[in-house]
Amino acid sequence: MIWIGDVLVSPGEGGVYGERMLDGYRVWDPYRSKLAALYVLGTGVDLRPDMRVLYLGAANGTTVSHVADYVETVYAVEIAPRPMQDLLEVAGRRRNVVPIMADAGRPGEFAPFMEAVDLIYQDVAQPDQVAIAERNLPFLKPDGCLILMLKTRSVDVRRDPAEVLEEAREELGAHLIVVETRWLEPYHRDHAALVCAARR
Amino acid sequence: MISTMRRYWFGDVDEEGGCRIAGGDTEALAERALSLRTGMDTFVPLDWRTARDCGFVGDREEYIDRLREVCIALARRKIAQRYRGRDVELLQMVRTLDELDHVINLLNERAAEWYQVARPSFSRKYRALPARRMVGAIRRVADGPLRRVADEIDRLYGVRSALMQEVSERADEVLPNCSALVGGLVAARLVSRAGGLAALARMPASTIQVLGSERALFSHLRAGTPPPKHGIIFQHRRVHNAPKEVRGRVARVLAARLGIAARLDYYRGVAVPEFIAEAQARIDEAGRAA
């Protein structure tokens, strides 16, 4: 990852969403992007130039654009038409972003486009987030990683977020090695990151 | 041995790597991709080199370029299709209407305060002077910037009434059954809160009953406060005019009928007179005090 002082940046054409520029690099704000928050908090999976990434819940393409600055190819999956319009704009200017309009929870819909990836990054506001991640595991290389941004409030607002995280960790542990879990405070409330590695 | 073909976006591939490339341009490939479905238990991730070995592309860069083109074309089709729904614009219209109300109220209050400062002897007490009439009064007597602001508020009232009329008419057309039960405006607000007619048609009646009272509902679920009896449907006269003892019942019966009405609107798209007559009778019945 590229740091200027203690500011996280990414190399690429700026002006995607009005982000600040620093020495020609795009500032990647941890308050706006959960993935940036994870890196600023000192963990995460380093993005490498040869990586292929499956990004579930791409939304407006804000974080997607930063990921695309670092890696070889990003498969960006999003279902809602409004954010998809913005994502297409981002994809139009970044040749390594493949925008896929499909339901992240139904991988069969977009599997015909997919190759195996080094990293699955998931950020979707659904109650069955963990099950969605599991359904997408066939796309992961044998030495790949999964970063799941768990929105505990989307799983169940009534339950204690810590309890929701514990349950997610157990469920994912059945398929993957959960390397680390991390709350994204103070950047994002009630959001936790689960960093997992594939079982070889 | 018969080998099974795996279907990918650029063509079909058999287990030995032999393939049949799908012909045509980007649009043709997008069209073909619409019909592709893969069972995940038998799925094998694609290796882009297969596409190269089949002669579909020369190198990886070209592979990603072609894939991107097809995916962008496909996404554009899907977006256009989603926006073709006749409820999509209605949703924006009713949200704009509610926001206009909000803005007009704020400006009214501000103009009234301003006017009182300009006229120290003026008070609204004992005058039965609602904000709407207040703006009229200000336009008659004030001048300068306050007058211009009041004129603008008056124009917004005009925009609002015209928009309300249009929302009502559009709702009658797009939501004939729901509109028959609760009027076009309330029907449109329900669709707006649900996020579209498709979403409303899939909701259970119990959810429709409390749409718009999410604060009270979650306070109930979390802290055990009394549950809300009604949300947006309270705006319908048969709910808010009902005696307090039966209001919850009316809301429940109405919501049950609205659930059916939404499905009729979504799947049939035309008014169903027999349903409407029966539903109206049941709702009126529920409103009679026990």
Residues of B in contact with A135 (CB under 8 A): 40
Number of domains in chain A: 1
User: Tokens in use for A15?
Assistant: 């002006």
Q: Residue-wise pLDDT tens for chain A (200 aa)?
A: 999 999 999 999 999 999 999 999 999 999 999 999 999 998 889 999 999 999 999 999 999 999 999 999 999 999 999 999 999 999 999 999 999 999 999 999 999 999 999 999 999 989 999 999 999 999 999 999 999 999 998 998 888 999 999 999 999 999 999 999 999 999 999 999 999 999 87
Instruction: Looking at the complex, report in whole angstroms how far the Cα of residue A40 sits from the nearest Cα belonging to chain B.
Output: 31
pLDDT tens digits along A71-84: 999 999 999 999 99
User: Is A1 inside any structural domain?
Assistant: no
* Residue after which a domain boundary falls, among B144, B173, B202: B173
Instruction: Looking at the complex, report in whole angstroms how far the Cα of residue A46 sits from the nearest Cα belonging to chain B.
Output: 23
A44 close to B (CB below 8 A): no
pLDDT tens digits along B152-184: 999 999 999 999 999 999 999 999 999 999 999
B36 close to A (CB below 8 A): yes
Instruction: Kindly tell me the sign of the dihedral angle through the C-alpha atoms of A68, A70, A74, A77.
Output: negative
Residues of A in contact with B79 (CB under 8 A): 81, 84-85, 101
A116 close to B (CB below 8 A): yes
User: ω into residue A107 within 30 of 0, thus cis?
Assistant: no
Q: Are B187 and B164 contained in the same domain?
A: no
Pick from B38, B67, B222: CB nearest A98: B67
The model carries a pTM of 0.81
Return the pLDDT at B173: 92
Q: Are B231 and B265 contained in the same domain?
A: yes
* Residue after which a domain boundary falls, among B113, B144, B173: B173
Residues of B in contact with A91 (CB under 8 A): 68, 71-72
Tell me whether residues A115 and B222 touch, CB distance under 8 A.
no
Number of domains in chain B: 3
Tell me whether residues A113 and B38 touch, CB distance under 8 A.
no
Which residue out of A94, A96, A115 would a mutagenesis test of the B interface target, given it has the greatest number of B Cβ atoms within 10 Å?
A: A115
Q: Are B132 and B115 contained in the same domain?
A: yes
B78 close to A (CB below 8 A): yes
* Residue after which a domain boundary falls, among B173, B204, B221: B173
Model ipTM? Answer: 0.93
Q: What is the CATH classification number for the domain harbouring A54?
A: 3.40.50.150
Q: Are B99 and B42 contained in the same domain?
A: no
B83 close to A (CB below 8 A): yes
Q: Are B24 and B106 contained in the same domain?
A: no
Parent domain of B124? 86-173
User: Is A53 inside any structural domain?
Assistant: yes
Parent domain of A39? 30-198
Query: H helices within chain A, ranges in order?
Result: 34-40, 62-70, 81-93, 129-135, 152-155, 161-173
Residue with tokens 């393939």: B19
Q: Are B182 and B269 contained in the same domain?
A: yes
**Pairing verdict, β A117-122 and A52-56:** parallel
User: Is A47 inside any structural domain?
Assistant: yes
